[in-house]
Amino acid sequence: MRKALELIGLGASVRDDKRRVLVARSKLLFGSFNNDIGQFVALRNGLMLAKFYNLQVRFVEVNSRKVVDSLNSQVPPF
pLDDT in the model for residue 51? 95
Judge whether 2 lies within some domain: no
Judge whether 36 lies within some domain: yes
Q: Give 25's strand partners.
A: 12
Judge whether 78 lies within some domain: no
Check: pTM over 0.85? Answer yes or no: no
User: What's the sign of the alpha-carbon dihedral 61, 42, 12, 56?
Assistant: positive
Asked if the model's pLDDT at residue 4 lies above 90, the reply is: no
Based on the structure, what is the number of domains in the chain? 1
Judge whether 12 lies within some domain: yes
Query: In which domain, by residue range, is 45 found?
Result: 7-73
Average pLDDT, the chain: 85
User: What's the sign of the alpha-carbon dihedral 17, 11, 54, 56?
Assistant: positive
Q: How far is CA 63 from CA 25, 38, 53, 54, 70, in A?
A: 17, 11, 24, 25, 13
CB of 27 within 8 A of CB of 10?
yes
pLDDT in the model for residue 3? 55
Asked if the model's pLDDT at residue 2 lies above 70, the reply is: no
Judge whether 14 lies within some domain: yes
